[in-house]
Structure 1
Amino acid sequence: MAKHDLDSNYLDPDYEPVVNHSGNSAFQDVLAARMQRRTLMKGGVGAALASIMGFGIAGCGSDSDSDDRSNGGNGSAGPGEGSATELGFAAIPVSSANKVVVPAGYSTKAFLPWGTPITGSYPAFRADASNSGADQEQQVGMHHDGLHFFPIDFKTGGNSSDEGLLVMNHEYINQAALHPDGPTYNANGMRPADEVRKEVAAHGVSVVHIKKDSTGDWDIVFGSPFNRRVTGNTEMDIRGPLRGYQKLSTRFSKNGTQTRGTLNNCSMGPTPWGTYLAAEENWHGYFANSSQTKPREQTRHGVGGASRYDWELAEGGDDQYVRFNITPTAQSAEDDYRNEANTYGYMVEIDPFTPESKPQKRTALGRFGHEGVIFAPVEEGKPVVCYSGDDSRFEYIYKFVSSRPYYAATASGYLLDEGTLYVARYNEDGSGDWLPLSLDDAGFAASVEAAQGSLVGNVQFDGFENQADVLLNTRLAADIAGATPMDRPEWGAVDPNTGEVYFTLTNNSRRTEEQVNAANPRAENRTGHIIRWREGGDDFAASEFQWDIFVFAGEQGTETVVDGDVAVSLTDDNIFNSPDGLWFDYNGRLWIQTDGSDAPPYQNNMMLAANPETRDIRRFFVGPQGCEVTGVVTTPDVKTMFVNIQHPARDWPFGNEGDHPRDATVIVVRDDKGVIGA
């Protein structure tokens, strides 16, 4: 994510440091063998841009009429009108304007900007950003990201498109905009406690009850018990294999069963049972450890000596802020916060329909830089399957398969507490393997035994205590298993019609010619690509899969070649770079959002729509200056679309508040009230 231009605390490479020094093969040799059979094509701008797959996946263009899949994994209560994936709009040009641009026949409106009061005493937003920390705890947070719309009648099997709960993440903050004059310090280098309280409160998740009025406009349902803020200080339970593990013991929770807050929530995932999973991505930068040596749980994630926002320096020494100093200061972990960072890096389950419920950190899904999670369609009596990317250079893509079967009548978050976590290996012949990260698996156990006493990347490996230790050190376990290092895996999406899984690989300018591999074939990959796969036997729990590259991002003339044919050649209508957000709507159109360069030829960040069968890709939406376009969902009838705009430039969407730009959700509708994209 391009944060460094906005906030000096996000200087690259510290924001997403390269911490995978495992030396995994990266398939250099297999790539060379593969290139003997497939020639890399070059686009008009001279960059090597070819899919080096020897075939297309079976699902592409195939007859899927026999594929009777549930749509529940998308959190949908039902599809919209029709099932065609054709695109029924003319592509719009790139834009450098400080406004949202959409095709003719569509209208947009800014909604729920940062600071909108949604609960409690409903404190009004002040244009000079002088609201207090207590105010911010009752207002929509900052830097909107992933979001989902839950029909208000979801729990009773309904699919209302006129009323529901809009739930969204708030990834991080811009301190300069959050306060009247930016962050301040006293003569002793300490920070005002209320400034810190406000910054913590601006993180997390907002749950907003919204409803159409008699004119068709959306508004907040004020006074609704569903309106809720979950912040960086909300008490949460630890669930799954890491619950009670001694490496999560802190002064706050000596038995390692609780923690406070969720931070750096990027993408998300709606569960089939109607809850919301918020991802904890770049949490490592919130903690300070001045020790000369740090445990592997911190070094493999890039925890440094200083924290991003100096929350541990809040005046008064309140325990809720002291905890961000994870330097050992006492005789035992039960008396300080050396393990506080170990309570972050998970998917956090929030039940929007039960506002009094405590959020749950689901540790069986692994601990890393979660970008989000995407569920495969669920089937009665079969395991729950979900996927998650680790958003950092040279990190991995994971899959979780539950131990217990799914039954709609009883399904809940307990299904995510027991199961097997796998990591992906992409082979040069277009096949792939899911490698189990389980000490009960003989192959993994043998790899662990062989690695003991050796240097794995920057970690001197001395084994794992138990399965909880494996999951606490998910990245290290994946290194040992032999996973494929990827070009920043971000959002995933599952095609509701074919079951194929898509993931954005945003970019990786650090990859050298010696480090390219079959799934990431470009050195200095500055524009990214989208990969997809089909599970073996159309079984989401399978241990193998077949993959190809859906599209390479880039300038005009960038080609994606499949089986010797040009499948996509980008034009003015669809050039893009750094694909990030990804979502299938309920009719099967694929929506692609970008977070990359806003320089020519791409201009402002954008959202495109794609027909997954034909690879027809068209630009649909361009955001205002300086922003990231991130987070997209529609109502079940696909007639209202919600798109989040993060860190916009000055003067959008409210010109008189330009010194304190406000992230906002954009509502997109068709003027004729038809289906979006059709």
Structure 2
Amino acid sequence: MQHESDNEVLFGSGDELLSNHCANTHINQVISGGLARRQVLAGGAALGTLAFLGAVLPSAVNAAEPASQGPAGFSFKRRSKLPFVPVAVTRADTISVPAGYRASPFIPWGTPLSGRYPAYLDDGSNSAQDQAEQLGMHHDGMHFFPIDAQQGHGRNSHHGLLVLNHEYIDAGLLHANGPTVVDGKRTSAEQVRKEINAHGVSVVEVCRGPRGEWTVLPSARNRRVTGATPMQISGPARGHVLLQTRYSPTGTATRGTLNNCSNGFTPWGTYLTCEENWAGYFASDDPSLPRELSRYGLRSSSRYGWESVAGDEFERFDATRTGASASDDYRNEPNHFGWIVEIDPFAPESQPIKRTALGRFAHEGLVFAPVKPGRPLVCYSGDDSQNEYIYKYVSRDKYRPGRSNGQLLDHGTLYVARFNADGSGEWLALDLQDASFQQACQTAGVSFADQGEVLINTRLAADVVGATKMDRPEWGAVNPDNGEVYFTLTNNSSRSETDAANPRPANAYGHIIRWREGSKHSAGRHFSWNLFLLAGPETDSVGPNGQPLSADNRLASPDGLWFDDEGRLWIQTDMSGSQLGSGPFGNNQMLVADPKSGELKRFLVGPLGAEITGITATPDFRTLFVNIQHPGEGSTASNLLSTWPDGPGKRPRSSTVVITRDDGRRLL
């Protein structure tokens, strides 16, 4: 997620304004009601709830390597699943990894990708068309598809498609001398077009050479999906009156995807990109906004001011009612965003599809419960805004290997989570056919014309049923060993009351929550939950082992999450402001946890101002790809706050890093 910039206000914070003012219970109220904060910080609640998930709880004396009893009474220590020396906190403008590992920058913003393969120019003079043929700005969620992925699970670790999101832009770096603004308005169509083209997704065909080096192949599969790419709309909201625009009077087509943060990938080998803080791209001068705009935080000014430039491609960012009907203007254009978008990386000619059954909100990602042939698909997504919710989708139809496709994401039921103080939880259906939902709507005095309108107004529907407000639910991950679901709750400065699942007021440090579904195949309505980790300094934190964090693993603002194939949880951070500039945490980092033993170590520290986000690996686990977003955040051409990765005097560039072991073996 992007943060407040040093540029002028027009190009400032990407965080959306708080827009949930309903009276639903906050997770911190739940925690204070059942899992008192003093218990959590003393380790009692952490230990008690860890036990129900079957974790092995190490002693405080030997947490990293708990002793076991061997034959004939001989004792031995369990082999650590984290066999590396943790990296120290630092504020250096570089990448730090443990001894025996290397981290090499790869495919930074501006890397030639397709078409004319235009070279990146550090003076910012690349054109809008150049940018459409280069890697986009600010890398985020990412997945490696082995080149044989669509013939099965995919086992090729030397050749594949690396697909990655580009969340937003720093306009002060994108152009030669920053953006042109006259009387508070944008005037250059070329500059705005370049900014739109720097957003979206990149599909990059990559190959590992005999010495382990990775290169980009000049392939027809290489592709940019931008903020202007034609797309289709599917699912219950397709063709809805609230999706009709001048561009698509039938409400079935749209242009572009924006603010793509985390991601997902399907069992049939396609990529899912998630539209997060998209509301700030639009403006409306209407004195009274409909609920599908006001509940999502639209305002009278936009983040980048694109709507002030003449031409239909830019006027669509103005949601003001100017015509006689919706097909005469773009009052409904914001309703085209906030969806999960499916992209087939192996078919560059295909149009991306916005899957509306998965709901409309600030999607952080989409993660699947263990996929079982002959069972419905189950997946989870968080709404990454203050006091928003966590959702689950259950497909109507069953997964059939080799036959199922994206239509499984068009027909199903969307649920939202309620976390109870006793460690139980409920999934509340957002479905007009569900009797409980009907009753909740009647009680609240809220009506929806059809299921499409429910999904366009997902946040309001979740308000109505009494979902639990969360501390910015971000990335999720599912443990391959047991199906437990983990979610980061990054922070929430607006919180004043606590509950069981969000135990801190004005939560500056964040935490990680996890749950276990009550039903065997994850499709049921009940779950059990606990707190996995409370981030913070040694004096105000609880690690996975029930003990305070230490110099080897203290962290704040956990964000990215990912499980490797051996059940280790990789945790990435997204601190900003004073947490980065001073205090005990240093630059943003990536840590690794063993949920079974409670061991947690810092594996990587990033350069100045950067967020660590996005992670994927080759099937042989000898290459790890990690994204470094917005190094030197807030830099301009005349004020470089970082020069990573290109060195002194060069503009900072978001980049993927390739992490390998010096001996070429598996990473861990």
For residues 344 and 194 of structure 1, the distance between their equivalents in structure 2, rounded to whole angstroms, comes to 23
Tell whether the 8 Å contact from 1:3 to 1:10 is kept in structure 2 after alignment. no
Partner of residue 49 from structure 2, selected from 44, 55, 64: 55
RMSD: 2.1
Partner of residue 400 from structure 2, selected from 374, 397, 407: 407
Report what 2:570 is aligned to. 591
Displacement of 1:198 in angstroms is: 0.2
Whether 1:668 and 2:659 are equivalent positions in the alignment is yes
Structure-1-length-normalised TM-score: 0.90
Whether 1:259 and 2:243 are equivalent positions in the alignment is no
SS at match of 2:615: strand
Report what 1:192 is aligned to. 188
Deviation per CA, 1:582-608: give whole Å up to 9, x if none: 000122111000001213200100000
For residues 6 and 254 of structure 1, the distance between their equivalents in structure 2, rounded to whole angstroms, comes to 40
Tell whether the 8 Å contact from 2:235 to 2:355 is kept in structure 1 after alignment. yes
Over 3 Å counting, the alpha-carbon distance change for 1:259 and 1:304 in structure 2 is same
For residues 33 and 184 of structure 2, the distance between their equivalents in structure 1, rounded to whole angstroms, comes to 62
Partner of residue 471 from structure 2, selected from 487, 492, 495: 487
SS at match of 1:56: helix
Tell whether the 8 Å contact from 2:33 to 2:500 is kept in structure 1 after alignment. no
Over 3 Å counting, the alpha-carbon distance change for 1:441 and 1:12 in structure 2 is farther
For residues 449 and 314 of structure 2, the distance between their equivalents in structure 1, rounded to whole angstroms, comes to 31
Whether 1:311 and 2:306 are equivalent positions in the alignment is yes
Tell whether the 8 Å contact from 1:142 to 1:202 is kept in structure 2 after alignment. yes
Tell whether the 8 Å contact from 1:347 to 1:365 is kept in structure 2 after alignment. yes
Tell whether the 8 Å contact from 1:53 to 1:548 is kept in structure 2 after alignment. no
One-letter amino acid of the structure 2 residue matched with residue 304 of structure 1: R
Tell whether the 8 Å contact from 2:487 to 2:513 is kept in structure 1 after alignment. yes
Report what 2:61 is aligned to. none
Over 3 Å counting, the alpha-carbon distance change for 1:119 and 1:9 in structure 2 is farther
**What does 1:125-140 align with in structure 2 at a 5 Å threshold?**
125-140=120-135
For residues 28 and 661 of structure 2, the distance between their equivalents in structure 1, rounded to whole angstroms, comes to 48
Report what 1:346 is aligned to. 339
Over 3 Å counting, the alpha-carbon distance change for 1:622 and 1:497 in structure 2 is same
Give the number of equivalent residue pairs.
Answer: 634
For residues 145 and 237 of structure 2, the distance between their equivalents in structure 1, rounded to whole angstroms, comes to 30
Greater displacement, 16-25 / 143-152: 16-25
For residues 180 and 142 of structure 2, the distance between their equivalents in structure 1, rounded to whole angstroms, comes to 32
**What does 1:534-573 align with in structure 2 at a 5 Å threshold?**
534-560=516-542, 567-573=546-552
One-letter amino acid of the structure 1 residue matched with residue 286 of structure 2: S
SS at match of 2:141: strand
For residues 89 and 633 of structure 1, the distance between their equivalents in structure 2, rounded to whole angstroms, comes to 20
Displacement of 1:542 in angstroms is: 1.3
Partner of residue 220 from structure 1, selected from 213, 216, 220: 216
Tell whether the 8 Å contact from 1:206 to 1:228 is kept in structure 2 after alignment. yes
Report what 2:501 is aligned to. 519
One-letter amino acid of the structure 2 residue matched with residue 609 of structure 1: V
For residues 184 and 18 of structure 2, the distance between their equivalents in structure 1, rounded to whole angstroms, comes to 34
Over 3 Å counting, the alpha-carbon distance change for 1:53 and 1:104 in structure 2 is closer
Displacement of 1:214 in angstroms is: 2.8
For residues 11 and 491 of structure 2, the distance between their equivalents in structure 1, rounded to whole angstroms, comes to 17
Tell whether the 8 Å contact from 2:316 to 2:330 is kept in structure 1 after alignment. yes
**What does 1:210-249 align with in structure 2 at a 5 Å threshold?**
210-222=206-218, 224-249=219-244
Greater displacement, 366-375 / 597-606: 597-606
Displacement of 1:318 in angstroms is: 1.9
Report what 2:590 is aligned to. 607
Deviation per CA, 1:41-94: give whole Å up to 9, x if none: 547xxxxx874685336433379xxxxxxxxxxxxxxxxxxxx98111111110
One-letter amino acid of the structure 1 residue matched with residue 321 of structure 2: P
SS at match of 1:115: coil
SS at match of 1:444: helix
For residues 192 and 159 of structure 1, the distance between their equivalents in structure 2, rounded to whole angstroms, comes to 47
Report what 2:175 is aligned to. 179
One-letter amino acid of the structure 1 residue matched with residue 105 of structure 2: A
Deviation per CA, 1:214-234: give whole Å up to 9, x if none: 322000001x11100000000
Tell whether the 8 Å contact from 2:2 to 2:168 is kept in structure 1 after alignment. no
For residues 668 and 497 of structure 1, the distance between their equivalents in structure 2, rounded to whole angstroms, comes to 24
Report what 1:651 is aligned to. 643
Displacement of 1:100 in angstroms is: 0.0
Over 3 Å counting, the alpha-carbon distance change for 1:255 and 1:114 in structure 2 is same
Tell whether the 8 Å contact from 1:50 to 1:560 is kept in structure 2 after alignment. no
Over 3 Å counting, the alpha-carbon distance change for 1:662 and 1:12 in structure 2 is closer
Over 3 Å counting, the alpha-carbon distance change for 1:370 and 1:184 in structure 2 is same
Tell whether the 8 Å contact from 1:19 to 1:302 is kept in structure 2 after alignment. yes
Tell whether the 8 Å contact from 1:57 to 1:533 is kept in structure 2 after alignment. no
Tell whether the 8 Å contact from 1:87 to 1:611 is kept in structure 2 after alignment. yes
Deviation per CA, 1:400-431: give whole Å up to 9, x if none: 00000001111111100000000000001000
Tell whether the 8 Å contact from 1:553 to 1:577 is kept in structure 2 after alignment. yes
Partner of residue 111 from structure 1, selected from 97, 106, 113: 106
Report what 2:69 is aligned to. none
Over 3 Å counting, the alpha-carbon distance change for 1:561 and 1:312 in structure 2 is closer
SS at match of 1:655: coil
Displacement of 1:25 in angstroms is: 2.8
For residues 531 and 559 of structure 1, the distance between their equivalents in structure 2, rounded to whole angstroms, comes to 14
Partner of residue 157 from structure 2, selected from 149, 154, 161: 161
Whether 1:34 and 2:34 are equivalent positions in the alignment is yes
Report what 1:3 is aligned to. 3
Tell whether the 8 Å contact from 2:484 to 2:514 is kept in structure 1 after alignment. yes
Deviation per CA, 1:224-251: give whole Å up to 9, x if none: 1110000000000001000000110001
Over 3 Å counting, the alpha-carbon distance change for 1:666 and 1:58 in structure 2 is same
Deviation per CA, 1:538-578: give whole Å up to 9, x if none: 3310110000000100002444389xxx6232000000000
**What does 1:269-418 align with in structure 2 at a 5 Å threshold?**
269-314=264-309, 317-418=310-411
Partner of residue 123 from structure 1, selected from 108, 118, 121: 118
The answer for unaligned runs of 5 or more in structure 2 is 58-78, 633-641
SS at match of 2:477: strand
For residues 23 and 50 of structure 1, the distance between their equivalents in structure 2, rounded to whole angstroms, comes to 30
One-letter amino acid of the structure 2 residue matched with residue 300 of structure 1: R
SS at match of 1:334: helix
Greater displacement, 581-590 / 134-143: 581-590
Displacement of 1:31 in angstroms is: 4.7
Tell whether the 8 Å contact from 1:85 to 1:587 is kept in structure 2 after alignment. no
Displacement of 1:350 in angstroms is: 0.4
Tell whether the 8 Å contact from 1:499 to 1:538 is kept in structure 2 after alignment. no
One-letter amino acid of the structure 2 residue matched with residue 627 of structure 1: A
Over 3 Å counting, the alpha-carbon distance change for 1:32 and 1:521 in structure 2 is closer
SS at match of 1:183: coil
Whether 1:150 and 2:145 are equivalent positions in the alignment is yes
Displacement of 1:188 in angstroms is: 9.4
Whether 1:629 and 2:612 are equivalent positions in the alignment is yes
For residues 345 and 80 of structure 2, the distance between their equivalents in structure 1, rounded to whole angstroms, comes to 31
SS at match of 1:537: coil
For residues 14 and 635 of structure 1, the distance between their equivalents in structure 2, rounded to whole angstroms, comes to 32
For residues 531 and 289 of structure 1, the distance between their equivalents in structure 2, rounded to whole angstroms, comes to 37
Deviation per CA, 1:496-535: give whole Å up to 9, x if none: 01110000000011111xx211100111110000000000
Deviation per CA, 1:10-67: give whole Å up to 9, x if none: 888772211110111336776555258x843547xxxxx874685336433379xxxx
Whether 1:206 and 2:190 are equivalent positions in the alignment is no
Displacement of 1:663 in angstroms is: 0.6
Tell whether the 8 Å contact from 1:53 to 1:430 is kept in structure 2 after alignment. no
Tell whether the 8 Å contact from 2:237 to 2:356 is kept in structure 1 after alignment. yes
**Percent of residue pairs identical:** 52
Partner of residue 423 from structure 1, selected from 407, 416, 426: 416
